Amino acid sequence: MAKLTETDQYLKQQKGRLHIANFLAAMNYHDDDLQTTIKTMRKRLLEIQQRESFAVINKPQTVRKIVFKFGGSKTVLHKRDDIQKDSRNASHSETLMCKRQKIKKSEEGVTDFIKSVGGSEAEFVIEKRLTVSDVNPNQGRLLIPVLQLKNNKGFLTADEETMMGNKEDVSVWVFDPERRKSMLNMAKWRMSKECYVLKTNWNHVVKTNGFKEEMVIRVLSFRVGQQLCFVLDRVA
C-alpha cells in the first residue's frame, strides 16, 4: 500500500512539473536571460488581465489575487472569476422579474374586472395558502387571520365592524377565479387569534373551483355601491 502511495505522489509531481513547463513555455521563459523573461511574463500577465477585464466589464464578480514570483520580484494579478455564478445570479433575477410581471399582470386583470362590474375601493386583503380546515366541508369556512391582513387599515365600514362586533353576519358577494358570483356571509371570530371568516356557501366555492389544501389564493375586496365584495384569484 505504501508503494502505491509513493507512486501516486511521484505521478502527481510529474504532472505538476509538466503543467509548470507548459506554462513557462507559453510565457516564453528562458533561464539564460532572467530579467528579460520576467518583463515578458509580466507583460503577458497584464494582457491576460486586460482581456478578462474587458470580457466581464460591468458585471459584479468576486476577485482573486494571484501572486507570481520570479527572480526575487513579484507580479500581482487580480483575477476576476465566478462568471458562472454571475450567470446564475442573472438567471435568478430574470426569474424574479418574470414572477413580478405575472403578479402585476394578474392584478391588472383583477382591477379590470372590478371596473367592469362597477366596483371601486379595491383593497388587497390577503394571500393565503389554503389549510386542511379551509377546504374541509365539515368546517365550511375560509379563515382570514386579522394579523395577516395586507391592509392594516381594514376594508370594513364602521357599521360593518359594529355588526361583527355584535356577532352579526355581513352579507358579501364573492367572485371566484372564474368570476362566478356567490352570496356568502362574513363574520368575525375570536379564537386564539382574531379571524374574519367567509362562510355559508363557501363549500360551494371550494367544490366548483377544485380548491385543495396547499393551494395559494389571493383575496381582494372592493365595493359596488355600498355592497362589500371579494374577488379570489389562484396564485401559481
Q: Are residues 155 and 63 in the same domain?
A: no
pLDDT, greater one: 91 or 225 = 225
- Global pTM reads 0.55
Torsion region of 82: left, alpha or beta (phi above 0 gives left; psi -120 to 50 gives alpha) = left
Lowest mean pLDDT among 36-45, 156-165, 212-221: 36-45
Radius of gyration (C-alpha) of the chain in whole angstroms: 34
Q: Is 17 helix (H, G, I), strand (E, B) or coil?
A: helix
Residue-wise pLDDT tens digits, 148-160: 888 766 789 999 9
pLDDT, greater one: 55 or 204 = 204
The total domain count for the chain is 2
Residue 198 has pLDDT above 90, yes or no: yes
Q: What pLDDT score does 162 carry? A: 93
Identify whether 91 is part of a domain: no
Q: Are residues 212 and 126 in the same domain?
A: yes
Q: What backbone torsions phi and psi does residue 127 show, to the nearest 5 degrees? A: -115, 120
Whether the CB-CB separation of 50 and 35 falls below 8 Å is answered with no
Give the separation between CA 97 and CA 180, rounded to whole angstroms: 31
Identify whether 136 is part of a domain: yes
Q: Are residues 203 and 145 in the same domain?
A: yes
Q: What pLDDT score does 63 carry? A: 57
Chain-centre distance of CA 163, in angstroms? 40
Q: Are residues 61 and 130 in the same domain?
A: no
Q: Grid coordinates in use for 48?
A: 491576460
Q: What pLDDT score does 101 carry? A: 47
Q: Are residues 125 and 196 in the same domain?
A: yes
190: β partners = 194
- How many of the other CB atoms lie within 10 Å of CB of 10? 10
Residue-wise pLDDT tens digits, 45-96: 777 777 766 665 555 555 556 665 555 666 655 555 544 555 555 555 555 4
Identify whether 86 is part of a domain: no
Q: Are residues 145 and 73 in the same domain?
A: no
Q: Which residue segment(s) compose the domain that 166 sits in?
A: 119-235
Sequence-distant (6+) residues with CB within 8 A of 228 are 155, 156, 160, 170, 172, 173, 186, 221
| Residue that terminates a domain, selected from 32, 54, 81 | 81
Identify whether 177 is part of a domain: yes
Residue-wise pLDDT tens digits, 10-28: 777 777 777 676 776 666 6
Identify whether 7 is part of a domain: yes
| Residue that terminates a domain, selected from 62, 81, 100 | 81
Q: Are residues 138 and 74 in the same domain?
A: no
Identify whether 167 is part of a domain: yes
| Residue that terminates a domain, selected from 31, 59, 81 | 81
**Torsion angle in degrees (nearest 10) through CA of 44, 50, 52, 53:** 160
Average pLDDT, the chain: 78
Q: What is the CATH number of the domain that holds 132?
A: 2.40.330.10
Residue-wise pLDDT tens digits, 182-196: 999 999 998 888 999
Q: Are residues 69 and 144 in the same domain?
A: no
Q: Are residues 141 and 224 in the same domain?
A: yes
Q: Are residues 160 and 227 in the same domain?
A: yes
Chain-centre distance of CA 83, in angstroms? 21
Most confident of the ranges 62-71, 104-113, 174-183: 174-183
Q: Are residues 49 and 142 in the same domain?
A: no
C-alpha separations of 15 from 18, 26, 140 in Å: 5, 17, 73
To the nearest whole percent, how much of the chain has pLDDT over 90?
Answer: 41
Q: What pLDDT score does 71 carry? A: 56
Identify whether 114 is part of a domain: no
Identify whether 180 is part of a domain: yes
Give the separation between CA 28 and CA 74, rounded to whole angstroms: 17
pLDDT confidence bin for 99, thresholds 50/70/90? very low
Q: Grid coordinates in use for 205?
A: 366555492
Spatial CA neighbour of 149 closest among 221, 231, 201, 216: 221
Q: What pLDDT score does 96 carry? A: 47
